[in-house]
Structure 1
Amino acid sequence: MKNNNNYKTQKREIKEQKKIFKKQMKEEKINLKRERQIENSQNRGLVNRVKLFARRFWIKFSKSRIGNKINEFIYWLMKRIEKSIRFELMVVFAVCFAISVIFYGISNNILSRDYTSSSIKYDYETIKDKALHLVNEISYEKEEVGVYRESIENTLLMYKDSKIKVYLTDLDGKVIYKSNGAGEEKLDIYAILDKSNNIASDGEERTLLYPIKIGETRNYLIYSEIPTPRINIETYKGEKSFFALILSVLVFISAFIVITNRKIKYLDDIVKGVNIVSCGDLAYRVEEKGKDEITSLAVNINTMTEEIERRIQSERAAEKTKGELITNVSHDLRTPLTSVMGYIGLIKDGKYENETMMKEYLDIAFSKSNQLKELIEDLFEYTKLNNNGIVIDREKVNLVDFLAQIIEEYMPLFDENSLKVVKKFADDKTEVNIDTGKIVRVFENLFSNAIKYSFKPGEVVISSYQNNGYANIIIKNSGETITKEKMDKLFDRFYRADEARNSNVKGSGLGLAISKNIIELHEGKIWAECIGNDISFFIKLRAV
């Protein structure tokens, strides 16, 4: 029983320990997550602080004198690049060259091979240093040789190496002291001096002679030693790598292609556009990008395409006009010509009862002949005006007096057709510079139209006024209402508002078209408006 209870107690304790362990693990994970979040926020905060510092630094730098100069230079450079393709290519070339040079420096440093060279060198400088050191040491051995003999001998005993020979001689070359390796008792000072002045060959014994003074005695110190050979190993890099040079050229080409890719694609688009236009699609337009010479080329291509399209449309319209002109002229010439031939044929065949009837036939034929003549004259004048075949002979006239004179000449026709003329001239001093003969023809056409199409009895109101440097003339009469569609066609050749070419109303249908051409030759405007039954013609000419 006790064992059972112990087992259950142990089991509960194990479960509690597991719960505690899981709780601790969970808390550790939470703490770890918090630490990471804090670390990330700190990193982000550091990045933001760096960005903020860089932004503030750039703002302050931009406001400084040097910053302003740099900004002005960058602005000038961008404007030049934007407007000049040649300057842009120069800048691109310079940038690509700089990139390739930097790349060459890095790649050459990486790809260059290490070279090793070995040589044997003989250390003659050390021999010289040792000799000088010995000279200084013996020179300081006080004043007399005899007094410090033991000290000098002890110094020379240090050079026991058989490679080193040290002699201390008098001025005649007699050896006073010598090292253990030296065997000569007397030396040839002149030969040693000559040997000391010459440069020894590699590995050859080096002999040096120095005059020294010990006390009051002058002596020579001769130092000879065979140099120790040393193997010198040197490692160095190759100055230039051919592979690095090739890579730099490839980098230059790649950078140039990448930077100029946008312009090359634009040139391709222009070429494609020209091909499309050359195939007959004149509605196509090349996209205009930028402000440089390539854009100017695109603009010129579009302008040329528009001009070609306009001319082709003009030629088509001219061909259509020519066809309509032939048709209309044929109809308008045939009608009076048929009448003339008919009545002359009756007279020729004697198909009249008396001379009175014959005279009546002749009057009708003569009237139709005059109508035919007027039509031919109108057609001839319209052709000359339309083909710029008429030269304007201008002169300065008073517009009110000019209009009054023409109205006076037309008064019998107005009276005959029961039309009252109302004149409203606001300014009797208005002057215009016109070709009087041509402008008379304009007013004759307008007055004739007013007489033909006015309600009878009725009135024709003729008014003029000056405004903003222009003389304005208005001719108004009452007649059948004309729709806007018909009003827009009134100044077309051979157009009549009644649309019946066999109408009893006489006229060639060219009068208003001729009037429009004459007014446009005077750099003026003419148009018509209809409000209810009131039909008004407006003329605008530049006042003097």
Structure 2
Amino acid sequence: MKIRVPKIIKKLFSPGRKLYTLILSKVSKSIRMELVLVFGICLLASILVGSIVSDSFQGRNARIDYTTGVRRISEQASYIANTLREGKVSVNDKEKVQQTLQHSIQSENFKVLISDLDGKVLYKSANSNETQIDIYSTIKNAMETVRDSEYGNNSAVYRNKEYVSFYPVNFTDARGYLIVSGMPQGEIVYDKNNNNLPGTVAILVTFLSSFYFITNKKMKYIEVVSKGLLEISKGNLDYRIKKYGNDELASLANNINFMAEELKNKIESERKSERAKSELITNVSHDLRTPLTSIKGYLSLIKDKKYSQDSQLEQYVNIAYSKSEKLEVLINDLFEYTKIANNGVSLEKQNIALNGLLEQLIDELVPISEENNVSIFKEFVEEKVIVSVDPNKTMRVFENLLMNAIRYSLKPGKVKVVLYKEEQFALVKVQNNCDNITEEDLEKIFDRFYRVEKSRSTDTGGSGLGLAIAKNIVELQGGEIDVNYNNGYISFNIKFKL
């Protein structure tokens, strides 16, 4: 059966619950607060256990205490003296004095005497027979018993068998002494034998053990963090420390994991850069050596006069010259890419219409496209698309993309150039039909010296830097460029802010 808690009770406990939640949240995020709380809990627990142990080990000594009995005799004497004084009784008023005495001691077995200043007994209780007392001895005995009682030495009272209370009495017409004596009644009292050593030991043991067990989990986690840091320092950058809680240790573990991830990425980046440098050297060596070998070979034939007629000489010269031109293009592309990649190019931005720039470039490339049996189609918006770019550098971007499309289109083929607006951006798509391209090739297509055609023949491809140069120029001007392949068509997409 579910018990419903009244709303008023929920409201009363709501502030306390919120405070508890707030404190718990603060404590869980701070090791300092956790230690303070643990210390407080351990201290309270040790004090509680220590008090229980102290009570268990404390002995009890029985003794007879006469303090209460002595006090009753003294109080009785004080009462009689005050009654006689306040009643303004005459020393000769025997009936009233005797009545006061009998009334005061009717329930007690005390002896009461009233004497004059010389010790002659004037009045006495029924259980007294004295007619004369020694004032000096009486006062002395009374003083000794009072002193012993005040210092807790009740053995003296027990030894004398009675207690004497001495009081001066003032009558209306005389002075005297009141002596009340009797056997004080004793009561059994149990005194504790204080032994603090067991309690102290219990407090110390409880505090240390509870503090150890409560903080044991946290200390183990510190060991886990330390072990993880040692493992990462050995070079195992894939190792990750598990995160527990939200305090500073959890934050430390998270930072160590982040550090390991960053180190891993940096090392992988450096390795990738080294591989890229190695590939760059290999590719540059190959692309430079191929035309250079041809030039050297034909010049060697000319030098050794290994030609039969002038037409063959002219053919050798033309081939060598053609190869030198390709070598020059490769060197220029390499030089330009290096400048752009190292931000060594200054931009001269202008507001230009992409429509006009693309139309001019397409018209210039018509002869080359016809020579390669490729048709170029345009699909532009009617309004002008104005962007702020460097005209020459942007022209180089689209020239590289269009030449790449013409070179790698299936023959006969077609290239489609699309220009439109989308929100605050101008978008250009250069599309052409081509052979199937794998996802791996698509991811590397902007890499320097990368060619989808693996033979690296200069007869079927360019320098391998055109797309890399185009990507760097676009990004240098704050634009974006990407590529996708779908159903036999590859599309390069360029975005510039209007």
- Normalised-by-shorter TM-score class: 0.7 to 0.9
In the TM superposition, what is the alpha-carbon distance from 1:125 to its structure 2 partner?
6.3
Q: Within 5 Å, give how 1:25-424 maps onto structure 2.
A: 56=4, 59-60=5-6, 63-114=9-60, 123=70, 126-127=73-74, 129-130=76-77, 132-133=79-80, 136=83, 145=92, 166-168=114-116, 177=122, 180-183=129-132, 207-213=166-172, 218-224=173-179, 235-237=190-192, 241-387=196-342, 390=345, 394-424=349-379
Aligned partner (choices 529, 532, 541) of residue 485 of structure 2: 529
- Measure how far apart 1:438 and its partner are: 3.0
Shift of 1:473: 1.2
Q: How far is 1:495 from its partner?
A: 3.0
Residues 1:504 and 2:459 are matched in the alignment: yes
Partner amino acid, structure 2, of 1:93: F
Deviation, structure 1 residue 130: 3.4
Alignment equivalent of 1:453, drawn from 378, 391, 408: 408
**Distance in 2, Cα, partners of 1:240 & 1:174:** 52
What residue identity is the alignment partner of 1:531?
A: N
Pick closer, same or farther for the CA change 1:201–1:446 going to 2, 3 Å: closer
Using a 3 Å threshold, how does the CA distance of structure 1 residues 249 and 66 change in structure 2: closer, same or farther?
Answer: farther
Given the superposition, is the C-alpha separation of residues 390 and 82 from structure 1 closer, same or farther in structure 2, using an over 3 Å criterion?
A: farther
> How big is the shift at 1:493?
3.0
Q: Is the 8 A contact 1:519 1:526 kept in 2?
A: no
CA 1:100–1:484 in 2, change beyond 3 Å: closer, same or farther? closer
Aligned with 1:540 (options 491, 494, 498):
494
Partner of 1:10: none
**Paired residues of 1:167 and 1:222 also in contact (CA < 8 A):** yes
Aligned pair 1:465/2:420, yes or no?
Answer: yes
Which has the larger displacement, 302-311 or 140-149?
Answer: 140-149
**Residue correspondence of structure 1 range 481-500 to structure 2 within 5 A:** 481-482=436-437, 486-500=441-455
- How big is the shift at 1:322? 2.3
CA distance in 2, matches of 1:327, 1:523: 31
Q: Secondary structure at the match of 1:424?
A: strand
After TM superposition, give the deviation of residue 383 of structure 1 in Å: 3.7
Q: Secondary structure at the match of 1:64?
A: helix
Taking the aligned partners of 2:51 and 2:459, their CA distance within structure 1 comes to 99
C-alpha contact (below 8 Å) 2:479/2:497 kept by paired residues: no
Q: What letter corresponds to residue 11 of structure 2 in structure 1?
A: R
Give the C-alpha shift of residue 336 in structure 1.
Answer: 0.4
1:145 CA displacement: 3.5
Q: Distance in 2 between matches of 1:304 and 1:71?
A: 39
3-state DSSP of counterpart to 2:454: coil
Amino acid at match of 2:170: P
1:432·1:542 contact (CA, 8 Å) conserved in 2? yes
| Contact persistence 1:139–1:212 (CA under 8 A) | no
Give ranges in structure 1 of 5+ residues lacking alignment.
1-47
- Which runs of 5 or more residues in structure 2 are unaligned? 149-155, 157-162
Aligned to 1:516: 471
Quick one: distance in 1 between partners of 2:229 and 2:303?
69
Distance 1:410 1:275 in 2: 63
Task: For 1:431, give the aligned amino acid.
Answer: I
| Cα distance, 1:476–1:132 mapped onto 2, change above 3 Å | closer
- Is this contact kept in 2: 1:138–1:152, CA < 8 A? no
Task: Note the C-alpha offset of 1:306.
Answer: 1.2
Alpha-carbon distance in 1 for matches of 2:88, 2:464? 144
Equivalenced residue count is 474
Asked if structure 2 preserves the Cα contact closer than 8 Å seen for 1:287 and 1:298, the reply is: yes
Q: Distance in 1 between matches of 2:97 and 2:45?
A: 76
Q: Return closer, same or farther for 1:333/1:223 CA change in 2, 3 Å cut-off.
A: same
* C-alpha contact 1:427 1:464 (8 A) present in aligned 2: no
CA–CA separation in structure 2 for the residues paired with 1:252 and 1:154: 65
CA offset at residue 147 of structure 1? 8.2
453-462 or 66-75, which deviates more: 453-462
* Contact kept? 1:462, 1:476, Cα under 8 Å: yes
Q: Tell me, yes or no, if structure 1 residue 438 matches structure 2 residue 393.
A: yes
* Distance change (3 Å), C-alpha of 1:181 and 1:464: same
1:72 positional shift = 0.6
1:464 shift after superposition: 0.8
1:477 aligns with 2:422: no
- For the aligned residues, what is the CA RMSD? 4.3
Tell me, yes or no, if the aligned pair for 1:398 and 1:430 is still in contact at 8 Å: yes
Give, as a single letter, the amino acid of the residue that structure 2 aligns with 1:112.
Q
Identity value in percent: 32
Whose RCO is larger (CA < 8 A, sep 6+)?
2
Cα distance between partner residues in 1 of 2:96 and 2:60: 57
| Cα distance in 2, alignment partners of residues 74 and 145 from structure 1 | 81
Q: What is the rounded CA distance, in whole Å, between the counterparts of 2:147 and 2:230 in structure 1? A: 83
The 3-state SS of whatever aligns with 2:431 is strand
Task: Return the offset for 1:441.
Answer: 2.0
CA positional deviation for 1:212: 1.6
